[in-house]
Amino acid sequence: SRFETCWPALMKDSHGVIIIFNPELPSHLKEIEMWYSCFVQQQPLLDSQCLLVAHHKPGGAGDTENLSLAYPLNKLKLIHSNLEEDPEDVRMEFIKYFRSIITIINESRDREEMSIIS
């Protein structure tokens, strides 16, 4: 990818990764493995700091709702977004995800402060 030189700058000090893909494209399913490897495993971030979003376009095939991803992607939180049908569900999932990231940040900051004190 022509943007690979920018990746280290994008990753620096990041606390979470959201990977949005089209579940109807087999090529996307291969690509998300690469994104996960580069942006989550190599940082390293916890799996709980990564959110997968299978985005369904209006009028797309409906059978991708039962998407089963292979290991290690099947360990990640996966949400389906269909902004025509349930934008509110997607919003709630994003809020939950952001709350979990904030919790992780606060916990690691507390650990750092304790290690400085002790």
For residue 57, give the nearest of 92, 88, 85 by alpha carbon.
85
110: CATH: 3.40.50
Asked if residue 76 has pLDDT above 90, the reply is yes
For residue 16, give the nearest of 92, 108, 84 by alpha carbon.
108
Please give the model's pTM, rounded to 2 decimal places: 0.83
Asked if residue 3 has pLDDT above 90, the reply is no
Q: How far apart are CA 23 and CA 17, in angstroms?
A: 18
Give the model's confidence band at 61: pLDDT under 50 very low, under 70 low, under 90 confident, else very high. Answer: low
The residues, ordered by sequence, that sit 6+ positions from 40 with a Cβ below 8 Å of its Cβ are 17, 47, 49, 50
Domain count, the chain: 1
Task: Provide the residue range defining the domain that includes 49.
Answer: 4-117
For residue 53, give the nearest of 8, 16, 14, 3 by alpha carbon.
16
Give the model's confidence band at 5: pLDDT under 50 very low, under 70 low, under 90 confident, else very high. Answer: confident
